[in-house]
Amino acid sequence: MSTVLITGAATGIGNHTARALTRAGHTVWASMRDPEGHDNVHRQELLEFAAQHGGALRVVALDVTSQESADAAVAAILRDSGDLDVVVQNAGHLYVGYTEAFSAEDIAHLIDINVIGAHRVNRAVLPHLRNRGTGTLLYVGSTIIVTTPPFLGPYAASKAAFDVLAVATSYEVNPLGIETCIVMPGAITKGTQHFPDATRAADAAVSAAYAELDPLVARNEEVTSALFVPGVDPSPVGVADEITRILSLPHGAKPFRSVVDYTEAGVESVNEVARETRERFVQRMGFGELLTPRASR
């Protein structure tokens, strides 16, 4: 079993993943920004869950917008557990609204959380994984980079950047024995605070210029829910279960991408074409050895 750090574990996918991995027997470090304050209820719930199920689950403070916080969290894990095998890069935030109505500073802040935040965590953990010669970076991405629905422009852009950063990093850590997995959830409209906690565009004047589209924005969540396959429970639990399944696989057998999409949007077929194109291009460059993780030491 592995020692796993999960970012953004207060609610939603991260929270369910912490529970699923604990039940599976992993040692889980569930991180959240303010476990002793704003997130204290979530901290207590996870600790109670671990006590009830006899699992090894701990909570650690980690704010992905701070390199100091990421470094301190990883140092605390290594002091306590002595090792760290897996990082689940899950922390993120949602913006909803007209793209123009978000200021440049708003979008920079979103990218700081959703993209640079993951990079900060990688910078904190990769020295340890490089020394070990093995490990897994598992990114919770999104099908949104393929489907690109309306009124989520800044968020879609941040998830695309997050995805590309994960792919680019994989080339450089594969030769060191560190695996990369990108799990791509589709739309999830329940069981998470993603939509309720979303930031709305603050520039009222610009938003007013798009007023004729307001009825479409108001129906966005409703029409998305209508796409779900009948009889399927579109909750974060399925994503947590898929992450748990992937982490049960041996080194070298984990999928580079996995889609959990309750709308059956066909993202897998796009992923396959993109994979073939990318791998063929990298191989033509003469860098084919960068495409798969080296056997662990």
107 pLDDT more than 80: yes
Q: Which domain covers residue 153, as residue numbers? A: 3-92+107-190+228-290
Is position 53 within any domain? Answer: yes
The pLDDT value given to residue 199: 80
Which CATH number is 10's domain given?
3.40.50.720
Handedness of CA 118, 119, 124, 127 (dihedral sign): positive
191 pLDDT more than 80: no
Is position 81 within any domain? Answer: yes
Q: What is the mean pLDDT of residues 119-135?
A: 97
281 pLDDT more than 80: yes
Is position 143 within any domain? Answer: yes
List Cα–Cα distances, 232 to 152, 188, 207, 260, 295, in angstroms: 24, 12, 35, 12, 38
The pLDDT value given to residue 193: 59
Rounded to whole angstroms, how far apart are CA atoms 90 and 140? 5
| Chain CA centroid to CA 134, Å | 20
Confidence of residue 233 (pLDDT cuts 50, 70, 90): confident
CB within 8 A of 274, min separation 6: which ones?
A: none
The pLDDT value given to residue 223: 87
User: What is the DSSP code (8-state) at residue 219?
Assistant: T
User: Are 28 and 34 in contact, with CB atoms under 8 Å apart?
Assistant: no
The pLDDT value given to residue 192: 63
Number of domains in the chain: 1
88 pLDDT more than 70: yes
Is position 100 within any domain? Answer: no
Phi and psi dihedrals of 109, rounded to 5?
-65, -40
**3-state SS, residue 274:** helix
Is position 51 within any domain? Answer: yes
Is position 159 within any domain? Answer: yes
Torsion of CA 245, 250, 255, 260, to 10 degrees: 0
90 pLDDT more than 90: yes
Q: Is 160 exposed, middle or buried (0-12, 13-18, 19+ CB in 10 A)?
A: middle
Q: If we measure between CA atoms, which residue out of 79, 89, 75, 76 comes closest to residue 17? A: 89
**3-state SS, residue 175:** helix
The angle subtended at Cα 265 by Cα 214 and Cα 166, nearest 5°, is 95
Is position 101 within any domain? Answer: no
User: What is the DSSP code (8-state) at residue 49?
Assistant: H
Adjacent-strand bridge partners of 102 = none
Please, what is the average pLDDT of the chain? 94
Q: What is the pLDDT of residues 28-54, one digit of tens each?
A: 999 999 999 998 999 999 999 999 988
The pLDDT value given to residue 195: 64
Is position 98 within any domain? Answer: no
